[in-house]
C-alpha cells in the first residue's frame, strides 16, 4: 500500500467516525462536521481541526484529480501520513481516564477522628480523602483544607484532635466545584479539559456510573494528568 492509499484509508475511517457522532447526513462536509462535533468537550477536535480541514483538501485532490488508477497527482508526504494515522488513533481509540486513576483511595466516614486523618497524611502521604456518610458522598478533604482548619483554630488552647471529625474539616473546606465525577470509560482529554476550565477543581472521582452515587473506583488529580 502506497502513502496515498494509507492516507485515504485513514481519512475515510475518520470521516465515517465523524459522521457517526451526531448522525450527520452523507452530504455534510468534513469542515461542518468538525465545527459541530467540537462542541462536545470530551472530544479533542480543537487539537486536530486545522490539520483535518487541510487533509480534507488533500483527500479531494487525490480522489478527484486522478488521471489513471496508478497515477496520483497529489502524493501525501511522510509527515501527512503519520499525522493522519495519529489523528485516527486519537479519535477512534482515545486514552481512557481509567489508565491514570489511583485505585488505592482512602475513604473516610464523616465520623472518623481528625487524629486518624493526620496519621494517614503523615504515614501514607495521601493528600485527598473522599468522605462518605451513610454511603453517600459528602465531600473531599485535602491537606490544604486541614491546614486551613488548624489556622482557624490556632488560638484554641484546648484542641482535642479526637473530638473533631472529618465532617468538621469539610465544613471549612467543602466546595461544590472542587470535585467532579467521571466513569472509567470517559477520556483523559475530557478530564484534562475539566481541570483546565476549573482552577478550583482539586480531584476527579471515578465511579462505576460516573455519578456521585456510584461505587468509587479511584481518583485522578491534576498531577496524574499533567505531571509535576
pLDDT in tens, 8-47: 999 999 999 999 988 888 889 999 999 888 887 678 888 8
- Please tell me whether residues 208 and 154 are part of one structural domain: yes
Taking 80 as the threshold, does the pLDDT of residue 156 lie above it?
no
Q: Mean of the pLDDT values across residues 38-57?
A: 87
77, 94, 111 — which closes off a domain? 94
User: Based on the domain organization, do 77 and 124 belong to the same domain?
Assistant: no
Least confident of 71-80, 83-92, 128-137, 209-218: 71-80
Contact 87, 14 (CB under 8 A): yes
Q: Give me the pLDDT at residue 123, please.
A: 84
Do 213 and 116 share a structural domain?
A: yes
CA distance 79 to 83: 6
Do 105 and 84 reside in the same domain of the chain? no
Into how many domains does the chain fold? 2
Q: Of 65, 94, 123, which residue is a domain's last?
A: 94
Both 135 and 42 in one domain: the answer is no
Task: Name every residue whose Cβ is closer than 8 Å to that of residue 2 and which is 6 or more positions away in sequence.
Answer: 72, 75
pLDDT of amino acid 86: 96
Residue 81 and residue 119 in one domain: no
CA distances 223 to 46, 198, 203, 207, Å, are: 23, 15, 10, 19
As a whole number of angstroms, the distance between CA 204 and CA 217 comes to 11
pLDDT score recorded for residue 179: 92
| 115 and 50 in a common domain | no
- The answer to whether the beta carbons of residues 12 and 47 sit under 8 Å apart is no
Residues 209 and 113 in one domain: yes
In this structure, the answer to whether residues 173 and 191 fall within a common structural domain is yes
Q: Domain limits at 74?
A: 3-94
7 and 89 inside one domain: yes
Scan for cell 461542518, then name that residue: 32
pLDDT tens for 82-138 read: 999 999 999 999 989 988 888 878 888 889 988 888 888 888 777 888 999 888 898
E-strand spans in the chain? 108-109, 128-133, 136-142, 179-182, 203-207, 216-220
- Give the predicted TM-score (pTM) of the model: 0.79
Cell of 190: 475530557
Task: Mark which of 74, 94, 114 sits at the end of a domain.
Answer: 94
CATH no. for residue 194?
A: 3.10.580.10
DSSP 3-state of 128: strand
How many C-beta atoms surround the C-beta of residue 120 within 10 A?
14
User: How far apart (Å, rounded) are the C-alpha atoms in residues 148 and 127?
Assistant: 14
Amino acid at each position: 500500500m502506497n502513502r496515498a492509499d494509507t492516507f485515504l484509508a485513514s481519512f475515510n475511517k475518520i470521516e465515517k467516525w465523524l459522521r457517526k457522532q451526531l448522525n450527520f447526513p452523507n452530504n455534510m462536509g468534513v469542515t461542518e462536521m468538525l465545527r459541530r462535533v467540537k462542541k462536545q468537550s470530551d472530544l479533542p477536535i480543537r487539537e486536530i481541526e486545522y490539520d483535518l480541514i487541510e487533509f480534507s483538501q488533500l483527500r479531494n485532490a487525490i480522489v478527484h484529480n486522478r488521471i489513471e488508477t496508478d497515477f496520483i497527482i497529489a502524493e501525501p508526504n511522510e509527515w501527512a501520513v503519520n499525522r493522519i494515522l495519529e489523528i485516527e488513533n486519537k479519535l477512534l481509540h482515545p486514552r481512557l481516564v481509567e489508565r491514570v486513576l489511583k485505585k488505592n483511595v482512602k475513604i473516610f466516614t464523616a465520623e472518623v477522628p481528625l487524629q486518624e486523618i493526620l496519621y494517614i497524611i503523615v504515614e501514607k502521604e495521601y493528600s485527598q480523602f473522599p468522605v462518605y456518610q451513610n454511603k453517600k458522598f459528602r465531600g473531599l478533604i485535602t491537606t490544604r483544607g486541614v491546614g486551613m482548619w488548624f489556622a482557624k483554630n490556632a488560638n484554641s488552647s484546648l484542641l482535642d484532635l479526637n473530638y473533631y471529625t472529618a465532617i468538621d474539616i469539610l465544613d471549612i473546606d467543602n466546595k461544590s466545584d472542587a470535585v467532579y465525577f467521571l466513569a472509567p470509560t470517559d477520556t483523559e482529554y475530557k478530564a484534562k479539559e475539566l481541570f483546565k476550565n476549573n482552577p478550583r477543581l482539586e480531584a476527579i472521582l471515578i465511579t462505576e456510573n460516573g455519578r456521585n452515587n456510584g461505587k468509587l473506583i479511584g481518583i485522578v488529580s491534576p498531577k496524574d494528568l499533567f505531571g509535576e
